[in-house]
Structure 1
Amino acid sequence: MRKLCLITAIFAFSATGLWAQTGGDECDVADVITVSGFGTYVVAMDNTAATTGTDPAPTIPCAVFGQNISDIWFCFTPDADGAINASTCDPTSWDTDMMLYDGAGGCAALVELACNGDAVTNPGPCQPFYSEFEAPTVVTAGNPYYLRIGSWGTVVGTGNLTINFFAIGVEICDDGADNDADGLIDCFDPDCAGIPPCGSEAGQCSDGVDNDADGTTDCFDVDCIGDPICFEGDNATCTDGVDNDADGATDCADLDCSGIGLCGPEVCDDGFDNDGDGLVDCFDVADCQGTPACPTSGNDECITAIDIPVAGPGTYTALMNSTAASLGTDPAPSIPCAVVGAFDNDIWFSFTPDQDMSAEIHTCDATSWDTDLLVYEDATNDCTAMTEIACNGDAGILTGCQAFYSHVQFVGVTAGINYKIRVGSWAAGASGVGQLTMNLVAVGPEICDDGIDNDLDGLVDCLDPDCSGFPNCFEGDRVTCTDGIDNDGDGATDCADPDCSGIGLCGPEICDDGFDNDGDGLVDCLDIADCQGTPACPISDGDECSIAVEVFDGANAIDTNPYTSSADLSNAGLCPATFFGVNDMDGWYLYTATADAFYEIHTCD
């Protein structure tokens, strides 16, 4: 016979109710919640006067469970088979712990069913750190169950406990709901195995669905072993860059591909990663260095530089391998060089252009190392009389590079002249493997009106001396000397350009033509040095100290409109903290005192 909660209960008149119980202090005096039918039941909680019982902490997994201090107890006996969930979510409540027990054996033989310290999934509003079971618990009609609620820490409080009691149904496999309250939804519920859209993974190994709800999808599911779509082991599947059998290894890195087609020991000149270590040909230093295809660095010094054959404009590359290089005795660069380092373990390359070109050279390669780069002109092609022409330690223009690659550009190179490229390591003692890239671009004549640096000398259109005399780059007639444009790109415009001197309006300042004839930036009477005192720009009475206007006691009219700025010093130091300005367009006034006295002079009007 089942034991029932034997404490006096207050019965509800509907499936949803609110009781006044606040929880018993121990299991054997638990407040009873009368559950009559499916629905939501809300119960007041108050553990402010409760003591901490001697019942043990939970032994089942329990999210963020605390001390269960000042615990209180509730008991309920469902009147039908179903499932329940419980929550202490209540914005006025406190930080709780909660446990659910099967009480069929009484308080002395409770069986833990569910517990929670802190939950986060309830949309609320809830207090911080409320408790709520992670999944519904199946309950049986007529069987007693106990809820124990305490404080996570020492703080106590009041609030509401909510119990949801609902019927259990058959799992519907495509509605996104846990219909049978077992915590598993749709195809993740074993009840749905074999029921569309759920079924065996076999035969459905490329649909992106975990058809058998075992937590693994497609080729990652053991049910798909042997499925043709999950096969990796022939020439096609071992070279397609795809982990076809979902074992975490791709192509030659997959043991299934060992010895198949291109997969095997590294072949050092076939352009393929035969041994699946991510390194191709000579970049696979461990396997290829020292082989005929990848000889040990023979370009350790300038005199043994590796030649890069050049045939016109284009992109040229060479393997860099400094792992066996020595330090060398060549000096550090003496020309300006951004973020250059130790230039350690340097290696050398050489090229001779067959036409005049512009060179861009860089060590950008995601698999490479932190480099330094220096380019020399080697006029004698014997390393005895080299001239540094470009260098760089670290650059940041290109993308897809290793950190701290080196890059130079717009390096003019001349047909028939030999050039040396020196690549070293920024850090002392460092070395590496990577690719050196050289882009050579044909240099054309400067087109003087297209906005492009056609000859790659860094100068565009009229700013390039090559455009001197070009019609578009001429400044020296009445039109070009009055159009407000620096037509010849020499940095001087119109009359300020010596090419315009004496042409048209350009010459000594004419003080009444509205033009800056002498190119000093001042027009007509504003050009005081040249025009003040001329008939066009007479000096008005009061404009200078020597012709000051006499004023008298009382109000005197003043008008500075006709005045010009004088060269007299304004000793602002005599006027501290009075916001004295530049004293521009100054006028002068003469006052003769009529008596010994203190005088006040102001311009308040």
Structure 2
Amino acid sequence: MELRATANWNDAICPNAIWNGSGTAYCDGLATDDIVGHEFGHGLTDHSADLIYQNQSGQLNESFSDVFGELVDLWNGDASVAGAPGGTPWPTTPTGGGTDTPNTGRSGCGDGSVRWLMGEDSSFGAIRDMWSPTCMGDPDRALSALYEATSCDPGFDSGGVHFGSGVPNHAFAMTTDGKTFNGVTVSGIGAIKAGAVWFRALTVYLTPACDFNEAYILFNQAATDLVGTTPNDPRTGGSSGSAFTAADATEVQNALIAVEMNGAGICNPPPPPPNDDCVDATVVAAGTHAIENGGATNSGVVATDAQCVGTFLGQVSKDIWLSYTPAQDGTATFTTCNIASWDTDLVIYTGGCGALNQVACNGDAAGCSNYTSIISNLAVTGGTEYLVRIGSWATTGGSGEIEIIFTPGGGTPVEVCNNGVDDDGDGAIDCADPDCVADPACVGSPIENCTNGVDDDLDGLTDCEDPDCAGDPSCIPFPADECATAAVAGLGLNSVNTIGASGSADSVGPCAGSFIGAMDNDVWYSLQVPGTGVLTVSTCGLLTFDSSLIVYQGSCGALVQVACNGDACGLDAEIQLSVTVGDQLTIRLGSASAGQAGSGLLLLELS
């Protein structure tokens, strides 16, 4: 068929490049080799699998275009193998070859190499990174909080087509060059073999509505079909001289597993957080606090941008709530700037949940990444409750932190009766302070809350020290305090209670970049793996404290650390590793900071 391309395109949607169903068009500065290959890739998809441009099928559609565009870029620059350009040259063209350099093997964000970057020579600069998608804000695996935040909302970017494409993009880059990721080691099979698998999957097997789970099966089928064949070299049209083997097909499968394209529950939101509604707002003092709105529902409270015109206040959807009461008059700043992972909206109210009175708001603060927010220097009155609502501009979500900065402005501090702080400096905290005798939080017979670190019933004993907490699940000592007494775990949800647990003498091995922390108050589990696949060990959204995880092989006293993680999902931990039926694993769960403890659940899943 005829290939049509229009350069120096001038249209209302410029700067852009498109496939319009019959040809391609490029605004000035965008006709680079990878973008040209990308747009004609959409044409190939239209005339083969015809993947619907929505949700995961749309993410696959975008990814196939990135794959073919990057292959054109690499081959056009004689850079199909990491290192100095060389090898079989691309056919000579009137415009000459590309210059895909430096083409060194990738190690991470900002490593200086342009290999696996999309659009690096365009007027935009690089817009996606196939090797490390998170460097550009795109998810690198399908069960990550970033994927849930960017790629699961049908109303955002057609279901995250330009974000979720990072998952299959990552699989292709790993298949080509090889990489260890998410507990899985992939040995690269090269661009020709990887490209042959992707091309066959697209043109023979995928159907318009394919999702990731279906594509996982079909990519593997395409790889199996190629075993014993010798793919052609696109640079010459002749044989590449290298046969596709069963081992090559295994590496394709490993890459797809590493990015979780076979994962169960992709886009299934977690349960709502405990502060999902105004009436359940988490009481906080000034300082920095972890936030996460995965699974949060919409409160339905209508927010106005009257106090923050021009800051792009959005829907304030998937909102969570905090309650902040300053001890005296002053000013308070509320900020998610550069410390939250998603496009946040902030709204502040007084008046209580039944009579909300909006007093401040912000959508996108100047100079803040990810469209995060700041409400600066809000005048606050001592003893007045301020309800802090943190939501999403659209309907995505994420995790991170909010910081509340209080600057005193006069007046005598008053005791705030529910925040666990001696606000007025008289030595008495909350309901123990005579100033709180009539406060609603202190009226009636106080009951000891067994997990908040406060002497709620004023008997001089806190949490599990109080006899009232003797039967509370959080105060029942967990027997699996050491490796030798590890609890037998099973697939699914397993109970966790680290209150009263001691620290273990076992050392913590290297766990680069995951903020694993102290592993204090740790508890232990043993698991005999019931099948072969990828084991997920996760505390994401399931615990009341900042957790860390380590997985070992071997016996107590001779443990060999095989995987670890600190903060995979907010302050929670998650590990994924390849396992074989019959493997005996020991799992250690502890807190990131000394003295932290709590309860909840540990999830074990095998896929």
TM-score for both structures, normalised by structure 2: 0.23
Higher relative contact order (CA 8 A, sep 6+): 2
Q: Which has the higher helix share?
A: 2
TM-score for both structures, normalised by structure 1: 0.23
